[in-house]
Structure 1
Amino acid sequence: MFALPFFRRDLPALKGDQVMLRVPFTNDYREWAAVRGESRAFLEPWEPRWTPDELDRTAWRLRISRYREDYAQGTAIAFFIFEKSSGKLAGGITLGNIRHGVSQSGHVGYWIGERFGGRGLMTDAVKVVTRFAFDTLRLHRIEAACIPDNARSIRVLEKAGFRREGLLRSYLRINGIWQDHYLYARIADDPPGAGTKD
């Protein structure tokens, strides 16, 4: 693995219409734990099974270390999503599995606190990260995987211009069960609004 020169510099905040994105800091722990904790029932159906120490400070420190290691290696960048109007932490979004060479691709994954859902914040965040991936990192293709029952996530991806490309059988173990996922993708030269419409 190698890091682009970009990854060795401080990453500026990214701004959208409704959100501001920045890398997580150690002192974000309390706000992160509060948002995740109050949203547990909302998030669990769509995430890997939570560990007993999921929200503990020790687990948080390990998470931050992993974020920094991935960032240093140029394989992933984790962002926290802040609502512009209130400044509150609303969720997280990661551009991961970043590959260069002939692939020039990455994969986006995200979560949002329950009280921030349905406001368009995640759609804005996905658009911001996609623009960053194409314009700054010069990636060609961004993928996202979504459980077929997750109608909210499907809407986010399609509003952000992603197209459904197929079904990945038994793709990820979510909440303790191997789940099928739809594969969505956006290509750098896709026209705006190119996502599948309901």
Structure 2
Amino acid sequence: MPTNQPVLTTSRLQLLPAAGGWARAVLAYQQRNRAHFAPWEPTPGGMFYTELFWVMRLRQRELDWQENSGAMFLLVQEQAPQQVIGTVTLSGITRGVFQACYLGYSLDQAYEGQGLMREALEAVIAFAFGSLKLHRLQANYQPENARSAGLLKRLGFQIEGQARDYLFLNGAWRDHVLTSLIHADYDAAPLLA
């Protein structure tokens, strides 16, 4: 992995590395979208909607990068550079014969339908397959989440199956559709060395 997690730039977004200094902005993002995110996330604990929680969570994401196990990006726009409008996370990076990770993302409800998440994910996918040299990205979604289903399909993710009672979210076990995107031109030569 590169030494420092880079800033990724698209035509309308900056994708900034997660850092503890963004805790207040991420907290405001979570508070604005509390009801919007509820169906897709775990039931928040008592500390979730506190700045301290987000300082600790974002510092953990920084540590994930340093340990080569993940990367989290915060989405901001030039006209409001202090307001987080989304996140993209690469987690569980596994090397060796797997060379893969999980892709997660969320977007402020007020910014849906503008193509911003697709723009952000295209940048992160290019980064994952380029700089991080990953072979496979996995992204899973609940069957009811038509927005995620359509977005992943447009990005080229292929459905690989369905997992029953996959994650405990919003107070119950939820089924998930399992998808992946493979880096077709992956150079496996270093794995053979």
Superposed pair shares fold, TM > 0.5: yes
The 3-state SS of whatever aligns with 2:167 is: strand
Q: Is 1:70 the counterpart of 2:97 in the alignment?
A: no
- Find the partner of 1:108 among 103, 117, 126: 103
Structure 1 contact 18–85 (Cα < 8 Å) conserved: no
The 3-state SS of whatever aligns with 1:137 is: coil
CA shift for structure 1 position 19: 2.0
Q: Partner residue of 2:159? A: 164
| Cα-to-partner distance string for 1:29-56 (whole Å, 9 max, x where unaligned) | 2222112101100001001111122121
Q: Partner residue of 1:133? A: 128
Q: Is 1:181 the counterpart of 2:181 in the alignment?
A: no
- Find the partner of 1:93 among 84, 88, 97: 88
Structure 1 contact 83–121 (Cα < 8 Å) conserved: no
Q: Partner residue of 1:27? A: 21
Count residues in correspondence: 184
| Cα-to-partner distance string for 1:149-182 (whole Å, 9 max, x where unaligned) | 0011112211222111110111111112111100
Is the alpha carbon distance of 1:84 and 1:158 closer, same or farther for their aligned partners in structure 2, counting shifts above 3 Å? farther
The 3-state SS of whatever aligns with 1:156 is: helix
CA shift for structure 1 position 84: 4.5
CA distance in 2, matches of 1:20, 1:166: 33
The 3-state SS of whatever aligns with 2:85 is: strand
- Where in structure 2 are there 5+ consecutive unaligned residues? 186-193
Q: CA RMSD in A?
A: 1.5
Write out the 4+ residue segments of structure 1 that deviate beyond 4 Å after TM superposition: none
Is the alpha carbon distance of 1:165 and 1:11 closer, same or farther for their aligned partners in structure 2, counting shifts above 3 Å? same
Is the alpha carbon distance of 1:85 and 1:123 closer, same or farther for their aligned partners in structure 2, counting shifts above 3 Å? farther
CA shift for structure 1 position 20: 1.5
CA shift for structure 1 position 185: 0.7
TM-score, reference length from structure 1:
0.87
- Where in structure 1 are there 5+ consecutive unaligned residues? 191-198
CA shift for structure 1 position 101: 1.0
Task: Give 2:27's aligned amino acid.
Answer: A
Is the alpha carbon distance of 1:17 and 1:156 closer, same or farther for their aligned partners in structure 2, counting shifts above 3 Å? farther
TM-score, reference length from structure 2:
0.89
Q: Partner residue of 1:52? A: 46
CA shift for structure 1 position 188: 0.5
Structure 1 contact 95–107 (Cα < 8 Å) conserved: yes
